[in-house]
Amino acid sequence: MEREALEKHIAEKQSVLCVGLDPHWERLPKALRQTQDPIFQFCRAIIDATHEHAVAYKPNLAFFEAQGAKGVQSLERVADYLHQNYPQHFTIADAKRGDIGNTAQQYAQAFFDRMGFDALTIAPYMGGDSVIPFLERPGKWGVVLALTSNPGAEDFQLLPLSMSEGAPGEALYQRVLARAQEWGHAGNLMFVVGATRPDFLRKVRATAPDHFLLVPGVGAQGGSVAQVLHHGWGSEGPELLINASRSILFASSGGDFASAAKAAAASLHREMQQALSPK
Amino acid sequence: MEREALEKHIAEKQSVLCVGLDPHWERLPKALRQTQDPIFQFCRAIIDATHEHAVAYKPNLAFFEAQGAKGVQSLERVADYLHQNYPQHFTIADAKRGDIGNTAQQYAQAFFDRMGFDALTIAPYMGGDSVIPFLERPGKWGVVLALTSNPGAEDFQLLPLSMSEGAPGEALYQRVLARAQEWGHAGNLMFVVGATRPDFLRKVRATAPDHFLLVPGVGAQGGSVAQVLHHGWGSEGPELLINASRSILFASSGGDFASAAKAAAASLHREMQQALSPK
């Protein structure tokens, strides 16, 4: 999907909501577990219930792969279902892949060509040749991890680099932001920046003013929508995708899980509309 | 697999050879492409031809996932075949995963519990909580990327950290080596260090003297076995797994691919025997 199409969808809906599809097997509603493909049934119900409020969906690969080949089959069905029924929604394979060039090409083939995702999350530790293969297909995006929302982000991402390297006090995640922009541009490259560190969104915007940011950590992990929109606003508009997973998917553990998910998504959507409308 | 069993296998065979299983679809021998599961057939033939020379196998997930759910089914068959027929061989899922705790748990479930791999490669960018879930199962190993063999290793892994952090001149990969040792020990944690930088193996050994190192980049990527064994020797012996993939798998593109693979593996084995025997 081209950037213009995504921006148009955001503007029309006044939403930057990305629904993370983490179909945790042990938490699937009991009624669904009897069906032939519980993971697909669950994701489909969540998608149908939330599509009016969301502009993007982000299946988290681990929860599919945990069920082996059958889980990957469910993922393929989810991707097909999304692309056939909601072609205006942006789709992100949350795979956090990162490997040398010829291997990265294989992943690009799997997620872009075979499954038709618009974007793939990428771990940058292996550097340029592990990222670039994901930036070479028209309308496809790499979403590079910059500053994540988990406690372990402190271990390496926030480490200050030597003064002789780059700007004084530059941290590793800032170098990732800067280097990645030599490999891609605002039309094929996004960054992951956690909502649990809203003050850092400003620092990120100093280095990456016009790239879309994928922001996890709202809801179950504790960040607020208003804060993220306030600090993370881009140079050309709300260039953000705010992800919520568990707070929507598991809003209810009962048979009403889909309507509860819809209500949770609608509530986030309202927060977004309020923050987006006056600008 | 426990460390003692791996060391015993290495000592008996005088080999540290890990065969990387990268079943690149376009390079599979034509005769196999007509079979029902070409990827499995190819891997099985390679395993049968090389098992006398190897102590470990490392399927590269990307080449399986590129074929979708069917490819993951092939991977499951390869894992089963290895564990049933060659239980003394160490098995590494080269997945380079790295995600927050609850997601990492899902990957651990997939690769350790479901598929029975001994080890999984891990990208460390997201820090401790993305690594630790892989170090909590008895006999299972995390293999953390430290210094990889690709050109992109220069982009971040070799960046010097600020003097105020740790030892003067410490690079990011050295910090990864040091921090990871707070999360695991020499019985559940290995590191990836590329053979294309043999001089760096000494530096790695200064920080991680007794951990096993998984060393890719011999063969097609250009490092030498003797150099790796010389510079990478551990405090208690040859605590190394030297990986070769393409130079073995695609030693011949014809119907004799298996015997050519055997010859390539035997040649590396001889180099290893020469370097290992006098010690």
Q: State whether A130 and B150 contact (CB < 8 Å).
A: yes
CA distance A48 to chain B (A): 24
CATH number belonging to domain A3-149+177-276: 3.20.20.70
Q: Confidence class of residue B277 from pLDDT cuts 50, 70 and 90?
A: confident
Q: How many Å apart are CA A81 and CA A64, to the nearest integer?
A: 15
Cβ contacts of B167 on chain A, cutoff 8 Å? none
Task: Taking residues B162-186, report their average pLDDT.
Answer: 89
* Ranges of residues in chain A whose predicted pLDDT is under 70: 165-166, 219-222, 278-279
Q: How many Å apart are CA A101 and CA A162, to the nearest integer?
A: 28
Question: Residues, chain B, total?
Answer: 279
Query: % helix / strand / coil in chain B, to the nearest 5?
Result: 50, 20, 35
pLDDT at A141: 98
Q: Over the stretch B148-159, which tens digit does the pLDDT of each residue have?
A: 989 999 999 999
Residue type, B17: L
- Cα–Cα distance list, A80 to A42, A51, A93, A142, B262 (Å): 15, 15, 13, 20, 42
Q: How many Å apart are CA A242 and CA A118, to the nearest integer?
A: 16
- Cα–Cα distance list, A200 to A165, A175, A242, B27 (Å): 21, 14, 15, 46
Per-position DSSP letters for A6-70, written without gaps between them = HHHHHHHHT--EEEEE---GGGS-HHHHTSS-HHHHHHHHHHHHHTTT-SEEEEBHHHHHTTHHH
CA distance A25 to chain B (A): 10
Q: Which residue has the tokens 């540290």?
A: B16
Task: Choose, from B13, B96, B140, B262, the residue flagged as catalytic.
Answer: B96
Q: Confidence class of residue B275 from pLDDT cuts 50, 70 and 90?
A: very high
Cα(first)–Cα(last) distance of chain B, in Å? 25
Q: How many Å apart are CA A273 and CA A277, to the nearest integer?
A: 6
Closest residue, chain B, to A178 (C-alpha): B155
DSSP state of A179: H
User: What contacts A149, CB < 8 A, 6 or more positions away?
Assistant: A194, A195, A196, A197, A216, A217, A221, A223, B100
Catalytic residue flag (residue A96):
yes
Cβ contacts of B214 on chain A, cutoff 8 Å? none
Cβ contacts of A163 on chain B, cutoff 8 Å? 162-163
Q: State whether B70 and A70 contact (CB < 8 Å).
A: no
- The domain segmentation of chain A, as residue ranges, is 3-149+177-276
Cβ contacts of B65 on chain A, cutoff 8 Å? 72, 106-107, 110
The pair phi, psi for residue A224, each rounded to 5°, is: -110, 145
Query: Is the sign of the CA dihedral B132, B137, B138, B140 positive or negative?
Result: negative
Cβ contacts of B172 on chain A, cutoff 8 Å? 156, 159, 172
User: What contacts B87, CB < 8 A, 6 or more positions away?
Assistant: none
Q: State whether B126 and A98 contact (CB < 8 Å).
A: no
Percent of chain B with pLDDT over 70: 97
Of A72, A115, A127, which has the smallest distance from its Cβ to B156's Cβ?
A127
Q: How far from chain centre, in Å, is Cα B39?
A: 19
Q: How many Å apart are CA B102 and CA B49, to the nearest integer?
A: 39
B3-276: CATH topology is TIM Barrel (3.20.20)
Q: State whether A175 and B165 contact (CB < 8 Å).
A: no
pLDDT at A149: 87
Q: How far from chain centre, in Å, is Cα B263?
A: 21
pLDDT at A166: 66
Closest residue, chain B, to A111 (C-alpha): B66
Q: How many Å apart are CA B71 and CA B40, to the nearest integer?
A: 9
ipTM exceeds 0.90, yes or no:
yes
pTM of the full structure = 0.96
pLDDT at B222: 66
pLDDT at B252: 96
Q: How many CB pairs under 8 A join A and B?
A: 197
Q: State whether A151 and B128 contact (CB < 8 Å).
A: yes
DSSP state of B159: P
pLDDT at A238: 95
Query: Taking a C-beta distance cutoff of 8 angstroms, is the pair B241, B55 a contact?
Result: yes
Query: Taking a C-beta distance cutoff of 8 angstroms, is the pair A265, A238 a contact?
Result: no
Among candidates A143, A114, A133, A130, which has minimal Cα distance to A56? A143
Q: Over the stretch A123-170, which tens digit does the pLDDT of each residue have?
A: 999 999 999 999 999 999 999 999 998 999 999 999 999 877 667 789
Task: Choose, from A96, A203, A262, A279, the residue flagged as catalytic.
Answer: A96
Closest residue, chain A, to B115 (C-alpha): A68
Q: Which residue has the tokens 């709300």?
A: A238
Q: State whether B130 and A150 contact (CB < 8 Å).
A: yes
Beta bridge partners of B237: B234
Quickly count: other Cβ atoms within 10 Å of residue B252's Cβ: 15
Query: Taking a C-beta distance cutoff of 8 angstroms, is the pair A190, A3 a contact?
Result: no
